[in-house]
Amino acid sequence: MSRPRRAAVSLIALLVSVLAPLHNDGFAVGSLPSLGTPIRVAAAAPILLRDPYLTDATGSSAMVNLATDTSSPAPIISWGPAAGNCASPPSSVTATYVTSFGTNDKQFKAQLSGLQPNTNYCYRVAQAGVDLLGAAPIFTSALGSGATDPFSFAVIGDWGAGTTDEANVLSRIAAAKPAFIVTVGDNVYNSGTQTEYGDLRGGNAFGPQYWPQVGRTIPAFPATGNHGFSGSVPYFQNWPQDATIAACAQSGCRYQRDTYCCTGTLGTTTKTYPSSWYAFDWGGTRFYILDGAWSDSTGAYLGDRQAHFNGPVAGCAICGAELTWLTNDLASHPAAHRFAFWHYPLYADSSSQGSDWFLDGPDNLEGVLASYGVNIVFNGHAHFYERNYPQIAGNPMLSYVTGGGGDPLGGVSGHSSFDAYAKAIYHYLRVTVAGASVTVTPTDENGATFDVQTYNFSPPSGTNDFSISANPSTLSVIQGQGATSTISTAVVSGAAQTVTLSASGLPAGATATFSPSAVTAGGSSTLTMTTASSTPVASYSITVMGTGASASHATTISLAVNAPVSDDFSISANP
């Protein structure tokens, strides 16, 4: 009996030594609480698992999204003007629980309301009294509808692949500080799951080297893609657009999963697929985020056409609703500029993700958008960069493919007549709107810009106007030699006018001649640039100016001058 008693004494001594540091909670040093006294153990501090990121930015609200490892108490987001007290912002809201996923991730969202347009705000994130960031990120609310302030936005597609290239592209967007980001689909690979989206411990989208670079301060408006189309629940959970959808819901915009059936590709099969189409204003520009994607297993391009853009389908209440809403919204919302975004490309020189012949052409979606004055269409799906010429006769609407956001690149399969410039390169597009001027600046993962184009889409009412472009827009010559490019013009509004052509920015010893030197808008001219043997080896940006009676426009050509290769030979002996 003595050994157990000594063991009990030793155990008591051990407990005393362990519990002695708890004297601040009411225990005397060196004493044990009675058996009836509860032992209080401090709760573990909550852990931030998804860095906060913004969606649903309007002139009066913005959505903060995040995930932690704790569901209760919910995080509290406090916010206020950045010019005020960011250490303790005056307004606060308790975040709303969205879903659980992974090992212990709890997703939340919180709408910051009462904002003023085009104003800087700061916010803090706390849970259980713990400041999860230790900082107050600053973002800018949306421009008020109709405001004429200049702004820029970023467009990225086919990006959530968990690659170094994706991280590089997102770092370039972060450095550019656009007002917001629009994606053209395929936001995470391969199936759109929460595991693939990931969190700060890893994943293809919300891993620390990816979206956290931009998410805290730059709101996002992602379109859906074919990857993750069938399993679209995480898309809606991760990218909420509550205020934006509420503003257009009565007119038929939609952001939810619906039951589709009865189309040619579905037959009697019923599928629950995303219905994701809406519009919003940023200043005087209207943005259309469209559902131009479909499941590969149920028809891809054709399935998209039959369900979304081909009118009503018997037995399918939702089929055709997107086209009806879009047409009505275009007719009822005049805007200085209009841009449309979706996944499948109108035109693409790709052998595997080529042109969507069910949507292109004057009698399809392309024709609807052009007839209502949409200026630029932005698509993805093909994993490269491509700028396409306007394809509707007499209409200046053009399209871009921007599918180089991070997933492995695809090859350019050719150079079709619609293709103004194509390149397999990781990149995003920075689009700057300043009055009537719209500049599209493709930027690669290393920060280099290429194929920069400036357009004038909104001439004063009743004036004659034109556009100008160069094909090719990149030339490479040997010192002492020359190269040519076709300079094309098109009537944008009013009547055709005489356009006189000139070139500037030429390197030393180089000359430029146009044949003819002036054209009637709608015509073209051949530009011949000739270098001298003494022209310095370098890359140059040549500005081609078209000057008319009522307007002047310019386009740029990149000219690379290279040194000649010297004649040489080798000699050998054997044996």
Comparing CA positions, the residue from 141, 169, 147 lying closest to residue 80 is 141
* Confidence at residue 7, expressed as pLDDT on a 0 to 100 scale: 40
The H or E element spanning position 434 is strand 427-434
Low-confidence ranges of the chain (pLDDT < 70): 1-43, 458-463, 550-552, 567-570
Three-state SS sequence of 436-451: CEEEEEEEECCCCECC
Q: Which residues, other chains included, contact 274 with Cβ-Cβ below 8 Å and sequence gap of 6+?
A: 224, 229, 232, 235, 236, 256, 257, 258, 291
* Confidence at residue 12, expressed as pLDDT on a 0 to 100 scale: 38
Compute φ and ψ for 548, nearest 5 degrees.
Answer: -115, 180
* Confidence at residue 466, expressed as pLDDT on a 0 to 100 scale: 79
Going by CATH, does the domain composed of 145-417 fall within 1.10.3720.10? no
Alpha-carbon distance 533 to 523, whole Å?
33
* Confidence at residue 495, expressed as pLDDT on a 0 to 100 scale: 82
Q: Report the predicted TM-score, pTM, of the whole model to 2 decimal places.
A: 0.75
Q: Is 17 left (phi over 0), alpha (psi -120 to 50) or beta?
A: alpha
Contact 138, 216 (CB under 8 A): no
Compute φ and ψ for 113, nearest 5 degrees.
Answer: -115, 175
Alpha-carbon distance 381 to 372, whole Å?
25
* Confidence at residue 571, expressed as pLDDT on a 0 to 100 scale: 80
Whether the domain at 49-142 and the domain at 465-562 fall into the same CATH topology: yes
CATH number of the domain at 465-562, out of 2.70.150.10, 3.40.50.300, 2.60.40.10, 3.40.50.2300? 2.60.40.10
The H or E element spanning position 527 is strand 524-530
**Cβ count within 10 A of residue 465:** 23
* Confidence at residue 488, expressed as pLDDT on a 0 to 100 scale: 92
pLDDT in tens, 61-76: 999 999 999 999 999 9
Alpha-carbon distance 350 to 340, whole Å?
21
Tokens of 414: 């050719």
Contact 65, 53 (CB under 8 A): yes
Query: Position of tokens 């399993």?
Result: 231
Alpha-carbon distance 307 to 264, whole Å?
9
Q: Which residues, other chains included, contact 536 with Cβ-Cβ below 8 Å and sequence gap of 6+?
A: 507, 508, 561
Tokens of 258: 């619906």
The H or E element spanning position 99 is strand 96-101
Judging by DSSP bridges, how do beta strands 376-379 and 398-402 pair with one another? parallel
* Confidence at residue 156, expressed as pLDDT on a 0 to 100 scale: 98
* Confidence at residue 546, expressed as pLDDT on a 0 to 100 scale: 85
* Confidence at residue 463, expressed as pLDDT on a 0 to 100 scale: 57
**In the chain, where the domains are located:** 49-142, 145-417, 465-562
- CATH architecture, range 49-142: Sandwich (2.60)
Q: Which residues, other chains included, contact 188 with Cβ-Cβ below 8 Å and sequence gap of 6+?
A: 160, 161, 196, 197, 204, 205, 227, 228, 234
Alpha-carbon distance 515 to 135, whole Å?
61
Burial 382-392 (b: 16+ CB within 10 A, else e): bbbbbbbbbbb
Query: Position of tokens 């949306």?
Result: 142
Alpha-carbon distance 208 to 194, whole Å?
15
Comparing CA positions, the residue from 141, 79, 186, 110 lying closest to residue 410 is 186
